[in-house]
């Protein structure tokens, strides 16, 4: 079996019958790896070195014109036809549907789950990422601290929303772990870990989020998924 896509001229597939994952160990990148590990779907990972600008290699841009990770190529997509897909939220929904796991078949619960994935995509990811820039990276040298403080305040507000949601639930959607949790785990982990923002957002007051994060990170599929493209 040969995969007919420009991406494979640059990153050849050793197992072309499997889902091909192109990613890196970022908060968005680990979502796809975690989901693939949790579902048990057969896949082959390819590390994209974003620091070396590989996500803007013409071969990668042929897969994702937006030049961001993660992206997947499924040789056995809908109707048995190949599917190239980017955007981590879209990938989570697709893999949930393909595997019939981590999203409810009940229409109401399904849309509520997608709602929380969109909340992560539109709020948590952008805000936590900006806080990381202004708190840890070159933005920390800016004399004007108003941008940092704005993103810290909004990140704390979002954590409060999540904390309230988890006050009466084991997982975001209740008793069942879902793609809503998978979408968020890497970001919350990164915020208090790699971004070193625990104190600036007052993370310790969000006890329900801490309990949820500990439970999520203890899952074997999550642990494996975090390391899929780490080396």
pLDDT tens-digit map of 141-177: 999 999 999 999 999 999 999 999 999 999 999 999 9
Same domain for 202 and 119: yes
Same domain for 128 and 193: yes
Structure tokens at 169: 């639930």
Residues 127 and 124: their CA atoms lie apart, in Å, by 5
Q: Do residues 117 and 125 make contact, with C-beta atoms less than 8 angstroms apart?
A: no
Same domain for 149 and 131: yes
Q: Is 2 domain-assigned?
A: no
Same domain for 118 and 81: no
**What pLDDT score does 144 carry?**
94
Q: Is 230 domain-assigned?
A: no
C-alpha 47, offset from chain centre: 15
Q: Which domain holds residue 169?
A: 107-222
Through-space distance between the first and last CA atoms of the chain, rounded to whole angstroms: 27
Q: Is 228 domain-assigned?
A: no
Same domain for 114 and 96: no
Number of domains forming the structure of the chain: 2
Q: Is 12 domain-assigned?
A: yes
Predicted TM-score (pTM) of the model is 0.97
Same domain for 95 and 139: no
Same domain for 23 and 85: yes
């Amino acid at each position: 079996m040969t995969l007919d896509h420009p991406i494979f001229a640059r990153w050849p597939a050793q197992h072309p019958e499997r889902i091909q994952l192109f990613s890196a160990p970022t908060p968005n990148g680990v979502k796809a790896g975690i989901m693939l590990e949790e579902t048990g779907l057969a896949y082959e990972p390819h590390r994209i070195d974003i620091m070396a600008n590989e996500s803007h290699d013409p071969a990668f841009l042929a897969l994702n014109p937006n030049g961001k990770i993660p992206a997947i190529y499924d040789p056995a997509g809908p109707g048995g036809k190949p599917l190239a897909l980017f955007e981590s939220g879209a990938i989570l929904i697709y893999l949930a549907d393909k595997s019939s796991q981590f999203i409810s078949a009940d229409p109401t619960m399904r849309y509520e789950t997608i709602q929380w994935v969109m909340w992560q995509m539109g709020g948590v990811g952008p805000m936590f990422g900006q806080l990381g820039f202004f708190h840890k990276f070159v933005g920390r040298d800016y004399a004007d601290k108003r941008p940092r403080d704005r993103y810290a305040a909004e990140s704390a507000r979002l954590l409060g929303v999540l904390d309230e949601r988890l006050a009466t639930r084991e997982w975001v959607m209740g008793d069942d772990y879902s793609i809503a949790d998978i979408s968020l785990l890497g970001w919350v982990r990164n915020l208090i870990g790699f971004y070193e923002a625990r104190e600036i957002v007052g993370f310790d007051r969000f006890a329900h989020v801490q309990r949820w994060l500990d439970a999520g990170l203890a899952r074997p599929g999550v642990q494996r998924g975090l390391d899929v493209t780490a080396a």
